Structure 1
């Protein structure tokens, strides 16, 4: 592998650490502010995290507010978990033998978690649309289609890596 590719991989590793830490902070902040809005001060629903305003949903229905906030927290947590799995790939990745069972398993797990995130986003999007029809305001954009597309691409990559791992193991046994 060329030094340019190794430099890019090292840079990507650092970037994914930053993304992972940022998503963990976002998820934690969402959880804390959600509980504050439920048990301490309902006005906190106006700014759950960086301008996220679900106060219109909270005024409409406390139960729907809980559902929507929980879906938002779950989606953020799943994104953080995907970033964590990518960080683990960097720890186990060997440029000399890129196809190994550990990396293949992690890529497969990422594809499954991404599908789960897509399903959470679809549910959140459907709930947001339903609430908008019934007069709630301040709803979210979920990006469910993009997440599911991402999950499909990662699944295809997981299949390629699985086949590559099988071929590499077979090649190692024949040498």
Structure 2
């Protein structure tokens, strides 16, 4: 029976894959909590998740259910998109082969991740603006949406995808010359 010896890079990729799955499940649970909190709000006058997150959400839900619905939809979509990004990261780690890391599949996945991060940034800016506008009407709301890092990450991942794309081109040129 032969044991496969894994390199340090393979070990790091394995740890990163585990962390990506943990982040995916964390954001997926967060999305489910937002959705269940919103749905259960129709039957319960007090929702523990809302109060823990921001006490003003309870007041907003009581005063204007339409604006509350929009805010909860933003929160749900943001958590869902973050979960999707981490799911794509876990999948891309599966696709990376140590002996041949540059593939067009990896390039496409990296581009999709960068577009998803850019979408999250756009929604963060939109949601932050909505919360600021809503804060004037309903009192202070918790604007805990970090907007800047998503644009930075989207740009960084897009640059990495272009580097991988060039790696695919060089790799295919080398395969043709051999």
Answer with 131-140 or 22-31: which moved more: 131-140
Which of 66, 88, 98 lines up with 2:69 in the alignment?
A: 66
* 1:114-161 C-alpha deviation (Å, 9 max, x unpaired): 111111111110001111122433333111111111111111111111
Q: Does 1:116 align with 2:131?
A: no
Alignment: residue pair count: 171
Q: Is the 8 A contact 1:56 1:137 kept in 2?
A: no
**Structure 1: segments with no counterpart, 5+ residues:** none
Is the CA contact (8 Å cut-off) linking 2:50 and 2:58 kept in structure 1? no
Q: Distance in 2 between the 1:135 and 1:22 partners?
A: 30
- Taking the TM superposition and a 5 Å limit, the aligned residue runs for 1:48-67 are 48=50, 51-53=52-54, 54-67=57-70
Q: So what's the TM-score if we normalise by structure 2? A: 0.88
User: Which is further off, 13-22 or 128-137?
Assistant: 128-137
Instruction: Please list every run of at least 4 consecutive aligned residues from structure 1 whose deviation after the TM superposition is greater than 3 angstroms.
Output: none
Question: Do residues 137 (structure 1) and 165 (structure 2) align?
Answer: no
- Which of these residues, 150, 153, 159, is aligned with residue 150 of structure 1? 153
Is it true that 1:9 corresponds to 2:13 in the alignment? yes
Cα offset, 1:41, TM superposition: 1.6
Partner of 2:99: 96
Q: Aligned with 1:137: secondary structure?
A: coil
The CA distance in 1 between the partners of 2:62 and 2:171, in whole Å, is 58
> Residue 3 of structure 1: CA displacement?
2.3
- What are structure 2's unaligned runs of at least 5 residues? 1-5
Separation in structure 2 between the aligned mates of residue 142 and residue 60 of structure 1, nearest angstrom: 23
Q: CA RMSD in A?
A: 1.8
